[in-house]
């Protein structure tokens, strides 16, 4: 990569020449350089992008490649095995094309996880920075809300709220009535972890010299938050985002599996397994495929999170 | 010590208040309100509905209803004979005195319904916790001792993998394997033509059906525990092994380990006597929440394996809109979670002499 001239110091400290020459680079540049060498993380990112591309081009694939309609049911064609004529991955219990449904389900599962992760991220960063920076009564109140939310089993809380929202007849027909109600539920209930994280980071940054000097020259709190605090916690936030999206895919699939999340006829990887116990004898592949997609997606997101953590770790030396 | 415990308990009070307030609000937000399930009879006239609502007191201001829900309504006179004059005092004791009301769907006191489900949940939960620790902790120690070796890499990959597998899918796949694929392979019968091929392991339930009712002793139904325990324990094994490894590596860097090595102790003694024993300490912080988390954490596993526990009760109650049961389970498990945290704080302070009570 760089020229291999030996500097006298590096031999003594035992650090490779490269890292010393590059000290002028910002953490982000360093992180991107490390990421580009991290094969596993790159593969994981590639898989996620590929899955997203395939899912979101589902209407095109359905029409031009598979030549099926994912909603058309046909009892005569139920439980066709994978490889059957016209159906690469076979058909489900009512004769719908399995592959097409998996793609559409991917659309919903990925979209819900990504968007709700972004919502909880926005809430979490805002609340975390505010409570961490100001402390005092605001901090106490938010902390109280977080402890309360966290002591209720997550699954039950989500199910109760989704039961309330999805059964509310005033909302049917609006955007909150469909699968996207789940986005808001997951987003608005999932911010406690990231808030605590950001609050902790802010607390540790708040007393650093550069913040104190910024305050001394009269910077407004808002200015300090946006130019001095948030850029410094962004790496932590990105790492958490990857892990959060993975967890949200798991949570969404569990909710949909139990019948409290995405409702049929909309497909999600979770609700495709709701009736799995009736498939056991007739179509094992119907049980395997959706779960496998969940595992692959979540695994890749975890790997990406781990890779980001290593890449952004300021103490790691190439 | 007593002072420390008391302080931690007092600190938990605001959270308890928060939980009851949140539960109460959620219950009130249910479409139709708390009377919906009781007055859902389409033959009821609006006047009759109004009367039921008045008798239940749902037309009173929310704070009043909340207090009544907490401490009961023996202080309130209810107009039971519909003559416009409140005459009979209420009979509810309030949740603070253990009265969670009547279950809408089962028509029995909620507390009775819940207490009879607790043994099944504890049985499954403790089995899973036991295997989680007994398998997870040694894996973590070994991975740390052989850091960077093949065992470390394999267990790391497995831990991430099992974290990424949805619990419900793992359960379904196990049922598929033991209930359909293995019998098919062993007996050579296609289960789609003989759906009644006998499974290798029971596909659900807590024990064989007994004509006299009741549950046979545990050693007679270990095969029923096997699959659900495995599903529930994988998360624990993955978690504890990673945590134990990190804690172990942390301890290994300490000065007293260097001292132990320097004075010529065998590596076995250094690793296990000086290392592992100290590395176990932070695990105590996990134990409290883990024990109580078992109460509600098994809901999905219980649903899949038809295990008659608390989690499944709550899920069934949610489907049946039986909110008194749901709220009771939520409140009880939230209380258990809080006390789990308090417990592990106290436990940690007890084991670790570096922590002073103050």
The mean of the pLDDT values for chain B is: 79
More confident residue, B163 or B38: B163
CA distance B97 to chain A (A): 21
The Cα A92–Cα A268 span in angstroms is 14
The Cα B143–Cα B159 span in angstroms is 12
Can you say how many angstroms the Cα of residue B309 is from the centroid of all Cα atoms in its chain? 10
Phi, psi angles (nearest 5°) of residue A84 = -65, 155
Of the candidates B22, B30, B168, the beta carbon closest to that of A164 is on: B30
Q: Is residue A279 a contact partner of residue A156, using CB atoms and an 8 Å limit?
A: no
Q: Do B330 and A156 touch (CB under 8 A)?
A: yes
Whether A141 and chain B come into contact, CB under 8 Å, resolves to no
More confident residue, A122 or B38: A122
Q: Do B175 and A258 touch (CB under 8 A)?
A: no
For B78, the enclosing helix (H) or strand (E) is strand B77-78
Strand partners, B78: B88
Whether A44 and chain B come into contact, CB under 8 Å, resolves to no
The Cα A204–Cα B176 span in angstroms is 50
Q: Is residue A164 a contact partner of residue B31, using CB atoms and an 8 Å limit?
A: yes
Q: Do B299 and A153 touch (CB under 8 A)?
A: yes
Q: Do B166 and A151 touch (CB under 8 A)?
A: no
Whether A303 and chain B come into contact, CB under 8 Å, resolves to yes
**Residue B20's CB: how many other CB atoms inside 10 A?**
20
- CB-based contacts of B353, cutoff 8 Å, min separation 6: none
Q: Do A280 and B175 touch (CB under 8 A)?
A: yes
Q: What is the pLDDT of residue B134?
A: 92
Burial class (CB in 10 A: 0-12, 13-18, 19+), A215: middle
The Cα A230–Cα A236 span in angstroms is 10
Q: What is the pLDDT of residue A293?
A: 93
More confident residue, A109 or B63: A109
CA distance A157 to chain B (A): 8
Taking the CA of residue A126 as centre, how many other CA atoms within 13 Å lie in the half-sphere pointing to its CB?
A: 8
The DSSP code for A171 is: T
Q: Do A159 and B163 touch (CB under 8 A)?
A: no
Taking the CA of residue A157 as centre, how many other CA atoms within 13 Å lie in the half-sphere pointing to its CB?
A: 20
**Residue A302's CB: how many other CB atoms inside 10 A?**
20
CA distance A104 to chain B (A): 19
Res B211 pLDDT > 70: no
Q: Do A295 and B179 touch (CB under 8 A)?
A: no
Comparing A107-121, B45-59, B314-328, the range with the smallest average pLDDT is B45-59
Tell me which chain B residues have a C-beta less than 8 angstroms from the C-beta of A149.
22
Phi, psi angles (nearest 5°) of residue B109 = -60, 135
- CB-based contacts of B154, cutoff 8 Å, min separation 6: none
- CB-based contacts of A288, cutoff 8 Å, min separation 6: B173, B176
Q: Do B318 and A284 touch (CB under 8 A)?
A: no
Q: Is residue B333 a contact partner of residue A153, using CB atoms and an 8 Å limit?
A: yes
Q: What is the pLDDT of residue A114?
A: 93
More confident residue, B40 or A213: A213
For B89, the enclosing helix (H) or strand (E) is strand B88-89
Q: Is residue A79 a contact partner of residue A146, using CB atoms and an 8 Å limit?
A: no
Give the N- to C-terminal CA distance of chain A in Å, as an integer.
Answer: 12
Q: Do B18 and A303 touch (CB under 8 A)?
A: no
Q: Is residue A311 a contact partner of residue A34, using CB atoms and an 8 Å limit?
A: yes
Of the candidates B14, B318, B337, the beta carbon closest to that of A159 is on: B318
Of the candidates A145, A167, A294, the beta carbon closest to that of B169 is on: A294
Looking at chain A, which runs of residues are DSSP E strands? none
Whether A175 and chain B come into contact, CB under 8 Å, resolves to no
Which chain B residue shows the shortest CA-CA distance from A247?
B164
Of the candidates A149, A258, A281, the beta carbon closest to that of B303 is on: A258
Averaged pLDDT for residues B145-153: 86
Q: What is the pLDDT of residue B75?
A: 67
Of the candidates A273, A282, A298, the beta carbon closest to that of B192 is on: A282
Tell me which chain A residues have a C-beta less than 8 angstroms from the C-beta of B314.
156
Strand partners, B109: B102
Which chain B residue shows the shortest CA-CA distance from A277?
B172
Q: Is residue A40 a contact partner of residue A302, using CB atoms and an 8 Å limit?
A: no
Which chain B residue shows the shortest CA-CA distance from A245?
B164
The Cα B333–Cα A151 span in angstroms is 8
Res B352 pLDDT > 70: yes
The Cα A249–Cα A73 span in angstroms is 27
Cα A137-A138-A144 angle, rounded to 5 deg: 90
Strand partners, A84: A87
The Cα A193–Cα A247 span in angstroms is 12
The Cα B256–Cα B134 span in angstroms is 26
* DSSP string across A98-112: HHHHHHHHHHHHHHH
| Residue A92 three-state SS | coil
Nearest to A63 by CA among A18, A100, A16, A23: A100
- pTM to 2 decimals? 0.85
pLDDT digits (tens, 9 = 90+) for B253-292: 888 888 888 888 888 888 888 888 888 888 877 777 776 6
Averaged pLDDT for residues B19-31: 80
Which chain B residue shows the shortest CA-CA distance from A284?
B176
For B88, the enclosing helix (H) or strand (E) is strand B88-89
Burial class (CB in 10 A: 0-12, 13-18, 19+), B264: exposed
Q: Do A294 and B166 touch (CB under 8 A)?
A: yes
Averaged pLDDT for residues B71-88: 67
Q: Do A144 and B330 touch (CB under 8 A)?
A: no
Looking at A19-123, which runs of residues are DSSP E strands? none
Angstrom distances, CA of residue B254 to CA of A71, B184, B274: 62, 55, 10
Question: Which residues in chain A show pLDDT less than 50?
Answer: 1-15, 20
CA distance B83 to chain A (A): 35
More confident residue, B246 or B1: B246
Q: Assign 3-state DSSP to chain B and report helix, strand, coil percentages, each to 5.
A: 65, 0, 30
Res B129 pLDDT > 80: yes
**Complex ipTM tops 0.90:** no
Q: Do B169 and A153 touch (CB under 8 A)?
A: no
Q: Do B180 and A299 touch (CB under 8 A)?
A: no
Q: What is the pLDDT of residue A128?
A: 92
Q: Which of B25, B31, B199, B327 to mutate to test the interface with A (most CBs of A within 10 A)?
A: B31
Phi, psi angles (nearest 5°) of residue A206 = -50, -35
């Amino acid at each position: 990569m760089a020229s291999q001239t030996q500097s006298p110091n590096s031999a003594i400290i035992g650090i490779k020449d490269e890292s010393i020459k590059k000290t002028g680079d910002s953490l982000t540049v360093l992180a991107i350089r490390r990421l580009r060498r991290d094969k596993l993380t790159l593969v994981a990112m590639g898989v996620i992008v590929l899955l997203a591309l395939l899912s979101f081009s589902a209407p095109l694939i359905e029409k031009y490649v598979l030549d099926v309609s994912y909603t058309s049911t046909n009892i005569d064609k139920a439980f066709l095995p994978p490889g059957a004529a016209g159906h690469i991955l076979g058909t489900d219990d009512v004769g719908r094309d399995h592959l097409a449904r998996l793609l559409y389900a991917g659309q919903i599962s990925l979209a819900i996880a990504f968007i709700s992760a972004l919502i909880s991220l926005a809430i979490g960063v805002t609340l975390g920075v505010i409570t961490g920076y100001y402390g005092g009564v605001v901090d106490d109140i938010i902390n109280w809300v977080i402890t309360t939310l966290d002591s209720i089993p997550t699954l039950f809380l989500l199910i109760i709220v989704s039961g309330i929202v999805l059964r509310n007849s005033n909302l049917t027909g609006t955007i909150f009535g469909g699968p996207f109600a789940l986005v808001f539920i997951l987003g608005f209930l999932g911010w406690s972890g990231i808030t605590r994280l950001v609050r902790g980071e802010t607390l540790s940054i708040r007393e650093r010299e550069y913040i104190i000097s910024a305050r001394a020259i009269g910077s407004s709190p808002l200015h300090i938050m946006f130019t001095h605090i948030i850029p410094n916690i962004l790496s932590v936030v990105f790492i958490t985002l990857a892990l959060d999206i993975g967890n949200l895919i798991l949570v969404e699939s569990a909710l949909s599996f139990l019948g409290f999340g995405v409702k049929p006829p909309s497909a999600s990887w979770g609700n495709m397994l709701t009736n799995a116990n009736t498939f056991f004898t007739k179509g094992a592949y119907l049980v395997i495929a959706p779960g496998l997609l969940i595992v692959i997606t979540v695994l890749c997101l975890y790997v990406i999170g781990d890779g980001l953590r290593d890449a952004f770790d300021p103490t790691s030396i190439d | 010590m007593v002072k420390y415990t008391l302080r931690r308990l007092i600190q938990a009070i605001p959270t308890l208040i928060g939980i009851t307030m949140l539960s109460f609000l959620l219950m009130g937000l249910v479409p139709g309100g708390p009377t919906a399930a009781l007055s859902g009879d389409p033959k009821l006239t609006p006047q009759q509905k109004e009367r039921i609502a008045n008798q239940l007191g749902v037309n009173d201001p929310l704070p009043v209803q909340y207090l009544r829900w907490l401490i009961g309504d023996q202080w309130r006179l209810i107009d039971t004979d519909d003559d416009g004059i409140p005459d009979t005092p209420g009979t509810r004791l309030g949740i603070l005195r253990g009265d969670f009301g009547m279950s809408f769907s089962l028509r029995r006191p909620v507390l009775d319904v819940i207490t009879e489900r607790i043994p099944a949940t504890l049985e499954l939960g403790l089995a899973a916790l036991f295997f989680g620790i007994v398998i997870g902790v040694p894996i973590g120690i070994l991975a740390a001792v052989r850091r960077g070796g093949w065992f470390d890499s394999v267990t790391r990959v497995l831990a991430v993998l099992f974290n990424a597998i949805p619990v419900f899918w793992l359960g379904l796949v196990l049922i598929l394997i033991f209930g359909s694929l293995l019998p098919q392979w062993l007996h050579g019968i296609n289960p789609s033509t003989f759906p009644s091929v006998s499974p290798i392991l029971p596909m659900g339930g807590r024990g064989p059906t007994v004509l006299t009712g009741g549950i046979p002793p545990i050693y007679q139904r270990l095969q029923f525990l096997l699959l659900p325990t495995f599903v529930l324990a994988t998360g624990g094994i993955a978690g504890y092994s990673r945590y134990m490894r990190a804690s172990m590596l942390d301890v290994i860097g300490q000065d007293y380990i260097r001292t132990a090595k320097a004075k010529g102790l065998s590596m076995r003694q250094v690793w296990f006597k000086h290392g592992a024993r100290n590395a176990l300490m932070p695990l105590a912080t996990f134990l409290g929440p883990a024990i109580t988390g078992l109460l509600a954490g098994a809901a999905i596993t219980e649903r899949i394996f038809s295990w008659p526990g608390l989690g499944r009760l709550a899920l069934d109650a949610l489907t049946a809109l039986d909110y008194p049961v749901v709220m009771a389970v939520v409140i009880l498990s939230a209380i258990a979670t809080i006390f789990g945290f308090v417990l592990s704080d106290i436990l940690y302070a007890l084991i670790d002499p570096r922590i002073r009570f103050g």
